[in-house]
Chains A and B, each alone.
Chain A
């Protein structure tokens, strides 16, 4: 617990109207969208301006408490879940678009602007902000940058980091800096901006974001194809890309997910359909037409069961519906849905999907898989009931095996959700000890008192501390296990 005197000092900074420590508030800010992880903060504050944030950060350094920044709380790795002796610092009410620069195609926003709101704002002006995470209807841009959010358009348009030009950040020691700018090229010194993107609230608190926009594609078409085998579907995906077409969306839905979609929404997929892929092509009219023709040839050659193409927006939405409700349909089946986001090189996609299926059988848990097949990013959704310990443990074992499989295929444990608390213990599977140590050193040098979201991404102390090897034999054992001392 943070002591009363310190809490009062925090309250003085933001004013009593913006400071909350009642039970209802502590409860309502004890979680984000990550299953199984929650912890009450000691207080929740809504600062009015960047100076107040800076003051709170300085106070945290002086009185040793932790600050956990939070937007809408839709993260999937526990990045904005409180830790012990922490306060939650909310910026979701900072929701103004500060400047729209039509000449330079940039927009300066506050961190609490909702992703979808920015998208419709710029699309009204014939411009485009592509990053499109699943929670875009409520996720904040500050949170998107902190987690380097991805989404459906990764294959063609990349992820959030490709659209961040500059950031105003409150450093963990209280200074306010602006890094980056409107220049496309900029090699003045270290690329500080990129340290903060995807730092999960551990290196700074954003107060302004300068984002890049691109022209809105002139036209687009959506295609839905059904297959009777996974092989045919994934071969089609690979062939489409090898034919030099880059769809703006290339999505995949597996059998279990399809069954759940049918049970929930009855979209009319027959039982013989094993896999569905959803494709969106955008660009100028001729390119779109030509690409759709090519795609049709490719899927027909690969034994597709059906090929549907959208004529207007209404049809587009209809075709996208299955993918849109994929997660919902799975989430209804069991009380707990652990959503993973492994990514493998596209060439290994078929192996990854096959391995997920055998992991599901091995641990006797249902796993529905869908995802952004075009960029190798899959969402295996492990379904379980957290109140059933045996079932939960099986699910966690399955998650562990999925991570191993991904790493063995040259992939990553997380493509867009971040590490946070949920994947912290698995990070060492992927990152070597010197790599983790470098991260620790960076954290330590920027945040010497560990006030910003400490303990997220990696433990602040090396794992073997406390039970250091005492004799030569133990040291050799440690070395053999590649455990870092």
Chain B
């Protein structure tokens, strides 16, 4: 097995080593070492692609140290798709070179938990029980990481009986909503708000049941085959012709689903082409703002998988500015990763917190009441950061902010 496919070899070779990625890379700024920069990692990946035996521990840890935030892709003058190289390297490391125990543990976590929607819901319910009896507060004493665990919902959309919600305004579109895995068990409110805003904009909103995980968690962690299986499963739940768009309100899922055709095969094209991010969709359909005033100060944090992977950064800002009464403040280093990065804040807790501290310093400087972020991972991470830095800023999804104008 090769580390990179032919297309990726071309990608790696198109790096012109200019170094313009360095100032945008959180791990390079943290370490100050070229080995921990996108440019350095591409050289290492190229080397191990031609010399795949004896992967060094250093290489493995370097590939895992990367946040895969893809800020370097936005900065890259040559348009190198760095994220796909690092993900392939991780996939290669998983299949070729990992201890049996580690492999097994990871499989249990990824495949046992996220891969099967029914099991996922049962486990979530058990966890919810423990959360409801405040068991986590006890654990907190032993391990701070537990604070990164989101509050689980009392009901899940995947179990909801209602399969669609009719438009409240004059009907303009039929759309479907991606409910996701974490979003479904821990962010029901965001789904509620998304559905409400879409209905206000003249959309009938369909919610196919038992959609399951899109596979991004697996894809980003080197489980390519399992990711593809889940992608096929997800695709099968949607009757694509029926919808004008399939809405994603989670940046990470949206980015991964849009890349199905590149990562897997062209059979996903019709499905993936229909997938639009919530903000992307609203700006495409000429969003009609509510007349209600919202007199609050708001700033916006770019989720990596929205700004860098999907290149969506002006649309959410424009939507926020359309709300009457709002005072918008631009966030310094807004497109910097918050350190959440999938499961990075669990696997690299200390590094993740250093990155988070820098982000919170910038957010707190804006002195705003709300910070909008459009990805569940970012929201959990930033809420933790707000608590940690004793800040009053509320971290909310764009849908939640827009919905506030309808109350």
Interface residues of A (CB under 8 A from B): 22-25, 27-35, 46, 72-74, 92-93, 114, 116, 135, 137-138, 264, 325, 327-328, 331-332, 335-337, 387
Contact = CB atoms under 8 A, between A and B. Distances in A.
Interface in B70-119: 77-79
Contacts of B59: 24
Contact of A27 (B23, B37, B43, B78): B43
B16 A337 contact: yes
Nearest to A139: B19
A23 B22 contact: no
Given A25-B34, A33-B19, 17 more contacts: A24-B40, A25-B35, A28-B35, A28-B40, A31-B43, A33-B17, A72-B22, A92-B32, A135-B19, A135-B20, A138-B19, A325-B77, A331-B16, A331-B77, A331-B78, A335-B10, A335-B16
Contact of A73 (B19, B47, B58, B77): B19
Contacts of A24: 35, 40, 44, 56, 58-59, 62
Contacts of B20: 74, 135, 137-138
Contacts of B79: 264, 328, 332
Interface of B: 10, 13-14, 16-20, 22-23, 32-35, 37, 40, 43-44, 47, 56, 58-59, 62, 77-79
Contacts of A116: 23
A260 to B, nearest CB: 11
Nearest to A326: B77
Main secondary structure of the interface of A (DSSP, over half): loop
Contacts of A46: 32
A138 to B, nearest CB: 5
A382 to B, nearest CB: 13
A135 B13 contact: no
Contacts of A28: 33-35, 37, 40, 43-44
Contacts of A22: 56, 58
Given A23-B56, A72-B19, A29 B77 contact: no
Most chain A CB within 10 A, of B14, B33, B34, B58, is at B34
A93 B59 CA distance: 23
A335 B58 CA distance: 28
Contacts of B14: 332, 335
Given A28-B34, A325-B77, A33 B56 contact: no
Contacts of B58: 22-24
B86 to A, nearest CB: 14
B62 A114 contact: no
Contacts of B18: 33, 74, 135, 331
Contacts of B22: 72, 138
21 contacts: A22-B58, A24-B35, A24-B56, A24-B58, A27-B44, A28-B33, A29-B34, A33-B18, A72-B19, A72-B22, A74-B18, A74-B19, A92-B32, A138-B19, A325-B77, A327-B77, A328-B77, A328-B78, A332-B14, A335-B14, A337-B16
Contact of B16 (A30, A135, A336): A336
Contacts of B10: 335
B43 A30 contact: yes
A154 B274 CA distance: 50
A114 B56 contact: no
Most A C-beta atoms less than 10 A away, residue of B18, B33, B43, B79:
B18
A267 to B, nearest CB: 16
A70 to B, nearest CB: 9
A28 B43 CA distance: 7
A23 B40 CA distance: 12
B13 A335 contact: yes
Contacts of B16: 33, 35, 331, 335-337
A73 B33 CA distance: 11
A46 B32 CA distance: 10
A72 B20 CA distance: 10
Contacts of B44: 24, 27-28
A137 B77 contact: no
Nearest to B31: A93
Nearest to B25: A138
Nearest to B22: A138
A334 to B, nearest CB: 9
Q: Which of B13, B20, B62, B79 has the most CB of A within 10 A?
A: B20
Q: Indicate the member of A34, A116, A331, A336 with the most B CB atoms within 10 Å.
A: A331
Nearest to A385: B13
A121 to B, nearest CB: 15
Contacts of B43: 27-28, 30-31
A114 B78 contact: no
A93 B32 contact: yes
A35 B58 CA distance: 26
B14 to A, nearest CB: 5
A137 B25 CA distance: 12
A137 B56 CA distance: 32
A335 B40 CA distance: 17
Specify which of B37, B62, B77 lies most central, judged by the most chain A CB atoms within 10 Å of its CB: B77
Contact of B17 (A35, A114, A332, A387): A35
A35 B14 CA distance: 11
A135 B56 CA distance: 32
A318 to B, nearest CB: 13
Contacts of A35: 16-17
A331 B13 CA distance: 12
A93 B30 CA distance: 11
B321 to A, nearest CB: 14
A456 to B, nearest CB: 18
B315 to A, nearest CB: 17
A27 B78 CA distance: 21
